[in-house]
Amino acid sequence: MLDVIASCLALGYATYRMLKSINSYQEEVLITLASVMGGYALANHLHVSGPLSMVMVDWKSS
């Protein structure tokens, strides 16, 4: 379970850093969608809840 939390926090931090460095609306939308798709794929691979993983990512990137 700890590996899931760590990977979600890492994904959230990476998303936050990318969004902070970009000032283009279209690119921000694409990065956000890629983060969600990647997070769900990671959660599916680790056999955990996708929506709960995205809550962790959103919590870190806010």
The confidence score (pLDDT) of residue 21 equals 92
- Please check whether residue 37 lies inside any domain of the structure: yes
- Please check whether residue 40 lies inside any domain of the structure: yes
pLDDT one-digit tens code per residue, 24-57: 999 999 998 998 888 888 888 888 888 877 777 6
The confidence score (pLDDT) of residue 43 equals 85
- Please check whether residue 16 lies inside any domain of the structure: no
The confidence score (pLDDT) of residue 8 equals 79
The confidence score (pLDDT) of residue 40 equals 87
- Please check whether residue 15 lies inside any domain of the structure: no
- Please check whether residue 41 lies inside any domain of the structure: yes
Q: What's this model's pTM, rounded to 2 decimal places?
A: 0.74
Contact 35, 54 (CB under 8 A): no
- Please check whether residue 48 lies inside any domain of the structure: yes
pLDDT band at 2 (very low <50, low <70, confident <90, very high): confident
- Please check whether residue 17 lies inside any domain of the structure: no
Q: What's the rounded Cα separation, in Å, for the pair 45 and 8?
A: 13
* Residue 60 structural domain: 1-10+28-62
Number of domains in the chain: 1
Q: What's the rounded Cα separation, in Å, for the pair 28 and 11?
A: 15
